[in-house]
Amino acid sequence: KNEVEQSPQNLTAQEGEFITINCSYSVGISALHWLQQHPGGGIVSLFMLSSGKKKHGRLIATINIQEKHSSLHITASHPRDSAVYICAVGYYGGSQGNLIFGKGTKLSVKP
Amino acid sequence: DVKVTQSSRYLVKRTGEKVFLECVQDMDHENMFWYRQDPGLGLRLIYFSYDVKMKEKGDIPEGYSVSREKKERFSLILESASTNQTSMYLCASSPILGGRQPQHFGDGTRLSIL
């Protein structure tokens, strides 16, 4: 069974700080996804990656396939970044459908 | 932009009632999914559908059924609601299985069973 572990579970930061959220998984994958969920809201996809690094604004996602590890970085954090960040990995087949989700990292950025 | 619309944001029902949660997507995606989300447990797959009238069980199908009569609509049915089905329910759609494309999520339905 493919497990997805995220750390930390909770993170409090001051505005302007550099933030890193980590994700590790146990078997081969088709792609890794980073998702964002604001309080009371739906989930939006931030990144999908299968190698290397992607950047969108102040967000950067990296993946190391050999080490089965990914990180999500937020530069110059802002209170509007406060949300739950979820790592999910894609794979083929199985009763779990095609995405396995981590339990999420709750980020709170204080002004 | 892909739009996934869930019929209700908040819903309160009684134990034993039959409950219908509706989801509609407007991007002609083959695949649709129902998840529930609980604190500390993350997202768990209830059922998914890869075509009209086709469905597959996820991790936690007990107490639920689904219906997909039209490509754009995927319904989740709680046959006889129980208090342990109080949760946030999220619908999603995707053009390809296997996680090779992002899933697009609705805003969720927060369901309370009293």
Say if residues A86 and A106 touch (Cβ distance below 8 Å).
no
> Which of residues 48 through 107 in chain A touch B, CB cutoff 8 A?
48, 86, 88-92, 95-99, 101-104
Question: pLDDT value at position A30?
Answer: 84
Is a pLDDT exceeding 80 seen at residue A23?
Answer: yes
Q: Where are the beta strands (DSSP E) in chain B?
A: 4-6, 10-13, 19-25, 31-38, 42-51, 54-57, 64-70, 73-78, 87-94, 104-105, 109-113
Share of chain A above pLDDT 70, in %: 93
* Residue in the block written with tokens 């992607």: A54
Mean pLDDT of A24-51: 90
Share of chain A above pLDDT 90, in %: 78
**Cβ contact, residue pair A45, B104, below 8 Å:** yes
Q: What are phi and psi of B83, to 5 degrees?
A: -60, -30
Question: pLDDT value at position A65?
Answer: 92
Which token pair is A38? 């604001």
Is a pLDDT exceeding 90 seen at residue A42?
Answer: no
* Residue in the block written with tokens 């991007």: B27
Is a pLDDT exceeding 90 seen at residue A91?
Answer: no
Residue type, B61: P
Q: What angle do CA A36, A40, A42 make, to 5 degrees?
A: 45
Is a pLDDT exceeding 60 seen at residue A97?
Answer: no
> Which of residues 17 through 56 in chain A touch B, CB cutoff 8 A?
29-31, 33, 41-45, 48
Q: What is the mean pLDDT of each run of 10 residues along chain B (114 residues)?
A: 88 97 95 94 93 92 96 97 97 88 93 97
Task: For CA atoms A27, A20, A33, B59, give the dihedral sign.
Answer: positive
Cβ-nearest to B58 among A31, A90, A95 = A95
Pick the closest to residue B23 from B43, B48, B44, B41 (CA basis). Answer: B48
* Residue in the block written with tokens 């998840």: B35
A3 pLDDT band (50/70/90 cuts)? Answer: confident
- As a whole number of angstroms, the distance between CA B57 and CA A32 comes to 23
Cβ-nearest to A33 among B44, B102, B108 = B102
Question: pLDDT value at position B2?
Answer: 67
Best residue in A87, A92, A98, A100 to probe B by mutation, most B CBs within 10 Å?
Answer: A98
